[in-house]
Amino acid sequence: MTATAEIRRLRGPRASVAADVPQAVWDETETASAGVGVCTRVMLLTGGECRFTCSMCDLWRHTLPTPTPRGSLPAQIRQGLALPAADGQPPRWVKLYNSSNFFDSRSVPEDDLPAITELVAPFERVVVENHPRLLGDTVLRFRDACRGRLEVAMGLETAEPKALASLNKQMTLDDFQSGCERLRGEGIDTRAFVLLGVPGIPAAEAVGWCLESVAFAFACGVRHVSIVPLRAGNGWVDRLLADGSLRLPTAGDLEAVAAGSFALPRPAGRVVTTDLWDFERLAGSCGGCRALRRERVDLMNRAQAVASLPALSCGCLS
């Protein structure tokens, strides 16, 4: 396991953030099932830093070094809800992502939960993020207070045990599986983040282990698996890139994972999507093919099936 002190030593500067202003708010079409999209309000909230220091994570840059002030999150959510709906279509789902753990009182004061549940009462589904080891009774109280269906998103990252340990997540595969079982038993849906390009896994095995991790998540009963390519910009990751021991995933890797995930056995109602955030920064595409390659992955996300890429005379295509 990578030492917490070493990970923090390699960090760059923290961004300047305000405790009463959300980082970003937007509407997106969330895939609910094959060909079915749901307008979703996404809020990136500002709060206290996660208590876990994962080596590959860069979310800490936009968090507070102190606990979240009481009343801050409800104020931010009110601002996020006051924005007009995209294309005039009212969002039906909401994601409250705070770059940390929603059920850690350092990041989300318990006294604020009643106000938050009132604010999100109109939504059919409420998605929050949390660590599998922080699933106490607060989760159940929040579920009971929510009118919509609660979904908890958790970072699995990888099903390769040694690589998982090196990420300093302070979590095992058993922890993740147990967390999923507990939530499912309480009528709470789960979502998993799976990392493509995990440090400690050779680049030639990155796609294969990513697909193994998607399969593991589905075996744990996860409703929605979100595949996220590893990003540069975090000090520990940047050091590995500099010494040649790590290679970031390419556009071809992302396409291969997106297509391969649909060949995996999965029960009805399960969804897998590939994160296209910063797709333009991935190596292995150019101005002649980048837009079409992104469109192909986006189509697979929406259709939940493999999509063909139009023929191109482009050397980037693999």
**pLDDT for 110:** 96
Other beta carbons within 10 angstroms of residue 141's beta carbon come to 15
**pLDDT for 1:** 58
**pLDDT for 314:** 72
Is residue 230 a contact partner of residue 237, using CB atoms and an 8 Å limit?
yes
pLDDT average, residue stretch 69-84: 97
Taking 80 as the threshold, does the pLDDT of residue 102 lie above it?
yes
**pLDDT for 200:** 93
Closest CA to 68 of 16, 15, 104, 24: 104
pLDDT band at 230 (very low <50, low <70, confident <90, very high): very high
pLDDT band at 215 (very low <50, low <70, confident <90, very high): very high
**pLDDT for 170:** 95
**pLDDT for 233:** 87
Taking 70 as the threshold, does the pLDDT of residue 143 lie above it?
yes
Cα–Cα distances (Å) from 234 to 12, 14, 57, 164, 176, in that order, read 7, 11, 7, 17, 24
pLDDT digits (tens, 9 = 90+) for 262-311: 999 988 999 999 999 999 999 998 888 899 999 999 999 999 999 877 66
pLDDT band at 188 (very low <50, low <70, confident <90, very high): very high
When mean pLDDT is compared over 188-197, 230-239, 278-287, the highest value belongs to: 188-197
The tokens for 138 are: 């607060």
pLDDT average, residue stretch 225-253: 94
Cα–chain center distance at 97? 9
Taking 60 as the threshold, does the pLDDT of residue 248 lie above it?
yes
**pLDDT for 288:** 83
**pLDDT for 311:** 67
More confident residue, 316 or 273: 273
Taking 80 as the threshold, does the pLDDT of residue 315 lie above it?
no
pLDDT digits (tens, 9 = 90+) for 33-66: 999 999 999 999 999 999 999 999 999 999 999 9
The 3-class secondary structure across the chain, one letter per residue, is CCCHHHHHHCCCCCCCCCCCCCCEEEEEEEEEECCEEEEEEEEECCCECCCCCCCCCCHHHHCECCCCCCCHHHHHHHHHHHCCCHHHCCCCEEEEECCCCCCCCCCCCHHHHHHHHHHCCCCCEEEEECCCCCCCHHHHHHHHHCCCEEEEEEEEECCCHHHHHHCCCCCCHHHHHHHHHHHHHCCCEEEEEEEECCCCCCHHHHHHHHHHHHHHHHHCCCCEEEEEECCCCCHHHHHHHHCCCCCCCCHHHHHHHHHHHCCCCCCCCCEEEECCCCHHHCCCCCCCCHHHHHHHHHHHHHHCCCCCCCCCCCCCCC
- Please tell me the distance from the alpha carbon of residue 201 to that of residue 199, in angstroms, as a whole number: 6
The pTM for the full model equals 0.95
**pLDDT for 289:** 87
pLDDT band at 88 (very low <50, low <70, confident <90, very high): confident
Taking 80 as the threshold, does the pLDDT of residue 2 lie above it?
no
- Please tell me the distance from the alpha carbon of residue 63 to that of residue 111, in angstroms, as a whole number: 20
* Mean residue pLDDT across the chain: 94
**pLDDT for 313:** 63
**pLDDT for 3:** 87
The tokens for 125 are: 């589904």
Residue with tokens 């595969």, as numbered in its chain: 173
pLDDT average, residue stretch 137-145: 97
Taking 70 as the threshold, does the pLDDT of residue 317 lie above it?
no
